[in-house]
């Protein structure tokens, strides 16, 4: 199966999807997980991921902590906050609200759709925040032009003893540039040099 996923040819994708259609007897949400997960490498368009979700629901299957992040990511890419909010309700109903991956996907969804207050509420409720969740909230603030708040969140990330990845560093440097904050930009540049990271 992994060799099929790695090969991006149309013929392989067609055979792979036909295989999933024959998995209906499993009646388990993890059969859909692989299909949704292919979206990560653009094997499926985001619309198709959402259509797969609707098919799952018609068959009586519910998303779980493995499938919610893929669905929420598809909603974020489509700016479909309405479905995203419905999924958030299902997250709570399924008892997945403490899952770090699910919460980070919710933060990202709300941030990308411009609902940063919702994003921050979800972010604030994450018991153990990781770099991905911090980056999601930072990106959310930048997305609506609140660059100062994004830089402040970045400072908090460092204060927690976490090491940002290159993506979060690029995002926060962009925030500094956008508002002309030379001092913070130089401070972040010094930090990048200090930790020896290449962007």
- pLDDT tier for residue 43 given thresholds of 50, 70 and 90: very low
Residues 113-167 pLDDT 10s: 999 999 999 999 998 899 999 999 999 999 999 999 999 999 999 999 999 999 9
Map tokens 């992040």 to a residue: 69
CA-based end-to-end distance of the chain = 34
Burial class (CB in 10 A: 0-12, 13-18, 19+), 118: buried
Residue 49 in this model has a pLDDT that exceeds 70: yes
Contact 137, 111 (CB under 8 A): yes
Per the model's pLDDT, the better-predicted residue between 195 and 63 turns out to be 195
What digits encode the pLDDT tens for the residues 69-120? 988 988 998 899 999 999 999 999 999 988 999 999 999 999 999 999 999 9
Q: How far is CA 9 from CA 42, 66, 75, 194, in A?
A: 12, 26, 26, 43
- Of the candidates 104, 144, 142, 140, the one whose C-alpha atom is nearest the C-alpha of residue 125 is 104
- Kindly report the number of other CB atoms within 10 A of residue 9's CB atom: 9
Can you give the pTM of this predicted structure? Answer: 0.77
Average confidence (pLDDT) over 35-51: 59
Model pLDDT for residues 21-42, shown as the tens digit of each residue? 444 444 444 444 445 454 454 5
pLDDT at 64: 84
In this predicted structure, the answer to whether residue 5 has a pLDDT above a threshold of 90 is no
Residue of higher predicted confidence among 117 and 15 = 117
**Cα–Cα nearest to 71, from 58, 84, 55:** 84
Output 161 or 199, whichever has higher pLDDT.
Answer: 161
């Amino acid at each position: 199966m992994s060799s099929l996923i790695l090969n991006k040819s149309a013929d392989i994708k067609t055979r792979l999807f036909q295989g999933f259609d024959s998995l209906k007897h499993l009646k388990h949400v993890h059969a859909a997980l692989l299909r949704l997960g292919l979206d990560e490498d653009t094997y499926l368009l985001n619309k198709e991921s959402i259509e797969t979700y609707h098919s799952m629901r018609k068959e009586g299957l519910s998303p779980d902590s493995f499938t919610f992040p893929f669905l929420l990511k598809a909603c974020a890419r489509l700016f479909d906050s309405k479905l995203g909010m419905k999924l958030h309700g299902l997250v709570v109903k399924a008892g997945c609200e403490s899952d770090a991956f699910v919460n980070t996907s919710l933060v990202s969804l709300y941030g990308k759709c411009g609902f940063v207050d919702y994003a921050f509420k979800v972010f604030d409720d994450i018991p153990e925040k990781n770099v991905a969740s911090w980056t999601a909230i930072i990106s959310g603030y930048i997305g609506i032009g609140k660059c100062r708040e994004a830089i402040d969140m970045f400072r908090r990330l460092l204060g927690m003893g976490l090491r940002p990845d290159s993506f979060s560093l690029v995002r926060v440097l962009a925030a500094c540039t956008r508002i002309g904050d030379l001092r913070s930009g130089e401070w972040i540049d010094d930090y990048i040099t200090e930790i020896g990271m290449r962007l």
